[in-house]
Chains A and B, each alone.
Chain A
Amino acid sequence: MTDMPAEELADAVLLASVADGDRNGLELLYRRHAPWLLLRLQHRCADPGLVDEVVQDTFVAVWRSAGRYDGRGEVAAWIWGIGVRRLVDALRRQPRRLPERSRRQPALELSAEERVLLGVEYGDLGGALDRLSPELHAVVQATVLDGLTTREAARLLGIPQGTVKTRMMRARAQLREELA
Chain B
Amino acid sequence: MSPTVVVNDVTKRFARTQALAGVTVEVSAGVTGLLGPNGAGKTTLLRILATVLGPDSGSVRTLGLDPADARDRTRIRRSLGYLPQEPGFQRGFSVFEFVDYVAILKELTPARQRHDEVRRVIAAVDLTSVSGKRVRALSGGMRRRVALAAALLGDPQLLVLDEPTAGLDPEQRLRFRELVSQAGEGRAVLLSTHQTEDVAALCHHVVVLHEGLVLFRGSPSELAQRAEGHVWFAEDRDPSARIAWRTGDGSHRNLGDPPAGVVTVPPTLEDGYLLLVGARDEEAAA
Contacts and interface: CB of A to CB of B under 8 A. Distances in A.
A21 B128 contact: no
Contacts of A24: 128-129
Interface in A63-80: none
Contacts of B128: 23-24
15 contacts: A17-B129, A21-B129, A21-B130, A21-B131, A21-B132, A21-B133, A22-B129, A22-B130, A23-B128, A23-B129, A23-B131, A23-B132, A24-B128, A24-B129, A25-B129
Interface in A18-76: 21-25
Is the interface on chain A under 10, 10 to 19, 20 to 34, or 35 or more residues?
under 10
Contacts of A17: 129
Nearest to A63: B132
Contacts of B131: 21, 23
Interface of B: 128-133
A24 B131 CA distance: 10
B184 to A, nearest CB: 26
Contacts of B129: 17, 21-25
Interface string A8-24: 00000000010001111
A23 B119 CA distance: 11
A4 to B, nearest CB: 15
A24 B128 CA distance: 6
Interface string A94-134: 00000000000000000000000000000000000000000
A101 B129 CA distance: 42
Nearest to B94: A21
Contacts of A25: 129
Contacts of B133: 21
